[in-house]
Amino acid sequence: MNELELSQSNKDRIKGNIKVTLTLGLLFTIALIAVVLVIPTILVLFNIKPDEGLIKRGLIIIGALFLPMLVISWKNIIKYIELKSGKKARLMTGDYEIKEKKDGFVLRINTPLKLEFDLHDKLPELIKLKEPITIELTQLSRTLLFISQDNVNLLDMVERTNKTDN
């Protein structure tokens, strides 16, 4: 496994990944606040007194549902650290397999590391199963940055075809 510098496209891919999770986290937080705080406020406006202990229950609900947000934030912090360090790992292997699961396809690497990556729907048809594969990924979060068998990034090819299809 070699350690390399991140290219600009790799940095853009990580930034895009961070933006998506932050946006989803923000929407989740807004929905959580709306459910827990706005509904009792509307009840008060119509002179309907909320039940005893409503604020305490609301805080417990916010605390319990905020835990998944902390996990998402922690993953974003790790991706940001990797973005600032500017390092990625490259590995080449012929010991891999592509399996179909109910959610899509999974690339399972057996050597030199045991790793598993979710694949785009169009990516498995671009990979030739008998040939060795080159993979680049971030070191801590294991974000997939590059998949190739002939120095052409198959992830970029799939993203370009998805953009032209839309």
pLDDT tens for the 166 residues of the chain, in order: 677 888 888 888 888 888 888 888 888 878 877 777 777 778 778 877 766 677 777 778 778 777 777 877 888 888 888 888 888 888 888 888 888 888 788 888 887 778 888 876 777 778 888 888 888 888 888 888 888 888 788 887 777 776 676 6
Please give the structure tokens belonging to residue 64.
């319990």
Tell me the pTM.
Answer: 0.66
CB 93 within 8 A of CB 130: no
Separation of alpha carbons 23 and 21, rounded Å: 5
